[in-house]
Structure 1
Amino acid sequence: MAMYESEHTRFMREWMEKHPEQREQQQTGRALWWDKPQDVAEQQRLAQARVPVKPYYYDVGGH
């Protein structure tokens, strides 16, 4: 049984085969938007500063 491959996936795979110079630009874009260094202390600080959200946002709690 063959695996399904969408038209978009097929197009992108063929495009990258025909334009190998795009690989470097793709990696540069990924580094710009996604590959960020992680700071554990900063993540903990942000988690501690998070304010809990009430189940019903507009409930003022004065019942």
Structure 2
Amino acid sequence: MKFLFKQHRGYESDHTQFIKSLKEKNPAIEKGQQEGRSLLWDKAPLSLDERARQRDSAIQQQAYVYQNKL
């Protein structure tokens, strides 16, 4: 299978070319992506007390949420 990849080594899809040209035209896009990522994913670690408080205050969810208890 190696021979297939050697033939197309220089190939870039239209989508890849579009994203590269977009980032060249507006370099602030990448900084904005990193800032957005940090808002959603880069969180400070929680202390053990805070984790215990969150665990204790969580409400147990039933196994099948769409079934009403009768």
Report the TM-score, using the length of structure 2 for normalisation. Answer: 0.46
Of Structure 1 and Structure 2, the greater helix share is in 2
TM-score by length of 1: 0.48
